[in-house]
Amino acid sequence: MKGIYLLLLCCMTICFEACQKGPTTDIPFRAYVTLPPYLNTGLSHHFVLQNIPGVNFDNLVNAQPAYVTLTVEYGEINLDFIHQAFLSTKKESMIREMAYQTDLPISNFRSIQLYPSILDMSEHVTQDLFEMELKLILRSIPVTETRIRIDFGVQGELGG
């Protein structure tokens, strides 16, 4: 019986050691997009966010999306005109979804949260400059030029 407990203890120790992660750090980013007035509701609209400054971590092992918030800075009084929103990484012709929110509720809020995807962004955020793409599907037509602030962050895992 002692052998079984000893074997179980060894297995648990090995699993615990294998699952250990390095220290983590939160890395915030900010970008802006200006929507022109009178965008059509029948189409999806793609906005490329260029020249986002990256971070300099030589020991960044993994960087998972942590949060994405879209906030109205000026123009429309809230974001109720947006039906669906997707934020993606963009590298050359490859686009990978970082966060999304489908069927946004009508809430009269000036900001909305997107759901983070499972995606390793370490290759993107460690570049000097990187690009993102915001895809919007609208439920109604915005009648004024609207500037949206995009705050997003990744949780980076640092290696030895």
Q: What mean pLDDT comes out for the span 126-154?
A: 93
Q: What mean pLDDT comes out for the span 1-14?
A: 52
What pLDDT was estimated at residue 73? 95
Give me the domains of the chain, ranges plus CATH numbers: 22-158 (2.60.120)
Q: Tell me: pLDDT of 17 over 90.
A: no
Q: What mean pLDDT comes out for the span 60-88?
A: 92
Q: Tell me: pLDDT of 148 over 90.
A: yes
Whether this prediction's pTM lies above 0.85 is answered by no
Q: What beta strand segments (E) does the chain contain? A: 24-35, 44-53, 60-74, 82-91, 94-101, 111-116, 129-138, 146-158
pLDDT higher for 18 or 94?
A: 94
For 18-73, the pLDDT digits (tens) are: 455 678 888 899 999 999 999 999 889 999 999 999 888 878 888 899 999 999 99
- d(CA 71, CA 58) in angstroms, rounded, equals 32
Confidence of residue 16 (pLDDT cuts 50, 70, 90): very low
Q: What mean pLDDT comes out for the span 108-131?
A: 90
Q: Which of 132, 70, 59 is nearest to 101 (CA)?
A: 70
